[in-house]
């Protein structure tokens, strides 16, 4: 059984504020990629889609004098750390099982290694699927963060994905 759906996550004000900041269209696309990739890598589609949908929830806006400062972002960004915590809090609040909330938080924490010291990380299949889903929707220059989608369409697509996930478990 599923404790929390993608539509429930979408409807929450925390998601509306922070996932919109990093790009709702990207988040929805990643959730779809994660569903497909979960099958390939034998990963639970419920966790994979939710982790992919929320993976960028930790982004902060790096503005200096009203302009996005990519240098500041590159040097000081910790969006995966912040996102893991933010997603965990949101999931628990909505009634997610703590085991699932923890797995999702870890997958978000490790979806990028851009903030980590050099080294090799060995990812678990769920974490790998979320990283792949993100890459699958990436556009050069971070353009994927700026693609837009209407609320109506995003909610509809997530509802459809909820049905797919439910049909699978
Ligand atoms: Fe992303």
pLDDT at 142 over 90: no
Q: Which residues surround ligand 1, an ion (CB under 5 A)?
A: 56, 134
Question: Domain residues for 59?
Answer: 6-168
| Residue 163's CATH number | 1.10.3210
**∠169-49-124 over CA atoms, to 5°?**
90
Q: Residue written as tokens 């900041």?
A: 21
pLDDT of residue 157: 98
The residue that leads in pLDDT, 55 or 21, is 55
Report how far ligand 1's centroid is from the alpha carbon of 66 (Å).
23
Domain-embedded: residue 45: yes
Domain-embedded: residue 1: no
Q: Taking residues 135-140, what's their average pLDDT? A: 93
Average pLDDT over the chain, rounded to whole?
94
Sorting pLDDT into bands at 50, 70 and 90, what band is 1? Answer: confident
pLDDT at 169 over 80: no
Q: What is the DSSP letter of 3?
A: S
Q: Taking residues 19-30, what's their average pLDDT? A: 96
Report how far ligand 1's centroid is from the alpha carbon of 168 (Å).
25
Domain-embedded: residue 153: yes
Number of domains the chain contains:
1
pLDDT of residue 68: 78
CA quadruple 7, 8, 13, 19: dihedral sign: negative
């Amino acid at each position: 059984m599923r404790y929390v759906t993608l539509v429930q996550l979408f409807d929450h004000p925390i998601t509306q504020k922070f996932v919109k900041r990093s790009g709702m269209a990207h988040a929805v696309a990643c959730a779809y990629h994660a569903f497909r990739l979960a099958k390939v890598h034998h990963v639970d589609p419920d966790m994979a889609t939710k982790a992919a949908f929320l993976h960028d929830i930790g982004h902060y806006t790096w503005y200096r004098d009203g302009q996005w400062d990519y240098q500041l972002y590159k040097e000081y960004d910790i969006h995966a750390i912040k996102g893991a915590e933010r997603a965990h809090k949101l999931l628990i609040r909505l009634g997610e099982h703590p085991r699932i909330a923890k797995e999702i938080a870890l997958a978000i924490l490790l979806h990028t290694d851009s903030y980590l010291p050099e080294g090799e990380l060995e990812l678990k299949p769920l974490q790998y699927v979320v990283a792949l889903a993100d890459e699958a929707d990436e556009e050069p220059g971070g353009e994927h963060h700026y693609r837009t989608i209407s609320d109506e369409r995003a909610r509809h697509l997530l509802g459809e994905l909820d049905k797919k996930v439910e049909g699978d478990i």
